[in-house]
Structure 1
Amino acid sequence: MPSQQTKSWIVQKYGGTSIGKFLPSITRTILPPYLRTHRVAVVCSARSGGTKSKGTTSLLLEAIRLSAKGPPRRVDVDDIIDSIQDEHLHAAKVSIEPSATDILIRTQQQIKKDCEWLRNLLHATAMLAEISDRSTDRVLAVGETLSCHITAAALTSRGIPSQVITLDNVVDEIYGEDQRDLKAIFRKNPGSFLRSLTYAIRVRVMSCGIEVPVITGFFGAMPGSLIKEVSRGYSDLCAALCAVALNAEELQIWKEVDGVFTADPRKVRDARLLATITSEEAAELTYYGSEVIHPLTIEQIDDAGIPLRLKNVANPQGSGTIIYPSTSEVCPHEPSGLLPSQGQYRRKPTAVTSKDCIKILNIRSHGATSRQTFLSRVSACIETNDLTIDLINSSQQTLSVVLHAPNRLFLEHCVSDLQELGVVTLMDNLAIISVIGHKMRNVVGIGAEIFSALAGAKINIYLISQGASEINISIVIRAQDVQLALEVVHENVLGIPRHEEKENAFSKGPWLY
Structure 2
Amino acid sequence: MATELKEYLVIIPDLPDVLAKRQVLLKPHNQDAAPLVKAGRVPFFGSTLAHHSAEGQQVAENGTVMIIKAESEEEIREIIRKDIFTIEGVWDFGKLSIWPFKTLQQFVLVYLAKLASMRSRRDNSWVVQKFGGTSIGKFPDKVAEIVKSARLGGDRPAVICSARSSGKKVFGTTSRLLQVYRTLRGIVAITQDPDMQELLFDRLRSIIRDIRDDQVATVQMYILRQDIRDETIRQITADCQELLDYTSAAKRFNLDINGKAKDKMVSFGEKLSCRLMVAMLRDRDIPAEYVDLSDIVPSNNLDQLRPDFFHEAAAVIGKRVEACNGRVPVITGFFGAVPGSLIDSGIGRGYSDLCAVLVAIGLHAERVQIWKEVDGIFTADPREVPDARCLPSITPSEAAELTFYGSEVIHHLALSLAIQAKPPVSIFVKNVQKPWGQGTVVVPTDGDDTSSWPIDYLDPSDSDSTSSTALPKMPTAVTIKRDITIFNILSNKQSMSHGFFVKVFTILAEHDISVDLISTSEVHVSMAINSSNMDPSQIKNVQCRLAEEGEVNVLPDMAILSLVGAELKNMTGIAGKMFAILGEQDVNIEMISQGASEINISCVIPDKDATRALNMLHDELFTKNAI
- TM-score, normalised on structure 2? 0.71
Partners of 1:392 and 1:454 lie apart in 2 by 20
Residue 103 of structure 2 is aligned to residue 20 of structure 1: no
Give the letter aligned to residue 475 of structure 1. Answer: C
Structure 2 residues not aligned, in runs of 5+ = 1-16, 18-118, 188-196, 456-468
Partners of 2:511 and 2:242 lie apart in 1 by 38
Structure-2 residue corresponding to 1:506: none
The 1:238–1:416 alpha-carbon spacing in structure 2 relative to 1, beyond 3 Å, is same
Q: Paired residue for 1:138, among 264, 269, 275?
A: 264
Q: Secondary structure at the match of 1:196?
A: helix
Residue 442 of structure 2 is aligned to residue 323 of structure 1: yes
Partners of 2:413 and 2:579 lie apart in 1 by 32
Partners of 2:474 and 2:254 lie apart in 1 by 56
Give the letter aligned to residue 183 of structure 1. Answer: D
Contact in 2 for aligned 1:306/1:324 (Cα 8 Å): no
| Identity score, percent | 40
The 1:401–1:162 alpha-carbon spacing in structure 2 relative to 1, beyond 3 Å, is same
Structure-2 residue corresponding to 1:395: 521
Contact in 1 for aligned 2:120/2:126 (Cα 8 Å): no
Partners of 1:344 and 1:40 lie apart in 2 by 39
The 1:79–1:422 alpha-carbon spacing in structure 2 relative to 1, beyond 3 Å, is closer
Residue 579 of structure 2 is aligned to residue 451 of structure 1: yes
Larger radius of gyration: 2
CA offset at residue 129 of structure 1? 5.3
Partners of 2:558 and 2:208 lie apart in 1 by 40
Report matched runs for 1:55-70 at 5 Å.
Answer: 55-68=172-185, 69=187, 70=197
CA offset at residue 10 of structure 1? 0.8
Structure-1 residue corresponding to 2:312: 196
The 1:3–1:419 alpha-carbon spacing in structure 2 relative to 1, beyond 3 Å, is closer
Give the letter aligned to residue 65 of structure 1. Answer: R
The 1:153–1:121 alpha-carbon spacing in structure 2 relative to 1, beyond 3 Å, is same
The 1:161–1:374 alpha-carbon spacing in structure 2 relative to 1, beyond 3 Å, is same
Q: Secondary structure at the match of 1:183?
A: coil
The 1:151–1:395 alpha-carbon spacing in structure 2 relative to 1, beyond 3 Å, is same
Q: Secondary structure at the match of 1:468?
A: coil
Give the letter aligned to residue 141 of structure 1. Answer: S
Structure 1 residues not aligned, in runs of 5+ = 332-342, 499-511
The 1:431–1:89 alpha-carbon spacing in structure 2 relative to 1, beyond 3 Å, is closer
Partners of 2:406 and 2:141 lie apart in 1 by 32
Partners of 1:78 and 1:367 lie apart in 2 by 53
Residue 323 of structure 2 is aligned to residue 212 of structure 1: no
The 1:432–1:392 alpha-carbon spacing in structure 2 relative to 1, beyond 3 Å, is same
CA offset at residue 164 of structure 1? 0.8
Residue 231 of structure 2 is aligned to residue 106 of structure 1: yes
Give the letter aligned to residue 219 of structure 1. Answer: F
Question: Which segment is superposed worse, 89-98 or 473-482?
Answer: 89-98
Partners of 1:73 and 1:301 lie apart in 2 by 43
Please provide the CA RMSD for this pair: 2.6
CA offset at residue 5 of structure 1? 11
Contact in 2 for aligned 1:432/1:474 (Cα 8 Å): yes
Structure-2 residue corresponding to 1:312: 431
The 1:66–1:314 alpha-carbon spacing in structure 2 relative to 1, beyond 3 Å, is same
Partners of 1:253 and 1:141 lie apart in 2 by 20
Partners of 2:420 and 2:123 lie apart in 1 by 24
Report matched runs for 1:213-362 at 5 Å.
Answer: 213-229=329-345, 230-304=347-421, 305-325=424-444, 326-328=448-450, 345-362=471-488
Partners of 1:496 and 1:4 lie apart in 2 by 39
Structure-2 residue corresponding to 1:92: 219
Report matched runs for 1:345-424 at 5 Å.
Answer: 345-366=471-492, 368-405=494-531, 406-424=534-552
Partners of 2:435 and 2:122 lie apart in 1 by 27
CA offset at residue 273 of structure 1? 1.0
Residue 562 of structure 2 is aligned to residue 437 of structure 1: no
Contact in 1 for aligned 2:173/2:211 (Cα 8 Å): yes
Partners of 2:374 and 2:454 lie apart in 1 by 24
Contact in 2 for aligned 1:4/1:39 (Cα 8 Å): no
Q: How many residues align?
A: 476
Structure-2 residue corresponding to 1:117: 242
Q: Secondary structure at the match of 2:525?
A: strand
1:112-148 Cα deviation digits (max 9, x unpaired): 2222222211222232455343333222222211221
Q: Secondary structure at the match of 1:184?
A: coil
The 1:449–1:80 alpha-carbon spacing in structure 2 relative to 1, beyond 3 Å, is same
1:347-394 Cα deviation digits (max 9, x unpaired): 111111111122222222335112233333322332233221111112
1:134-176 Cα deviation digits (max 9, x unpaired): 333222222211221221122122121111111011222xx44
- TM-score, normalised on structure 1? 0.86
Structure-2 residue corresponding to 1:83: 210
Contact in 2 for aligned 1:71/1:129 (Cα 8 Å): no
Partners of 2:231 and 2:609 lie apart in 1 by 56
Give the letter aligned to residue 241 of structure 1. Answer: L
Partners of 2:310 and 2:408 lie apart in 1 by 22
Contact in 1 for aligned 2:150/2:157 (Cα 8 Å): no
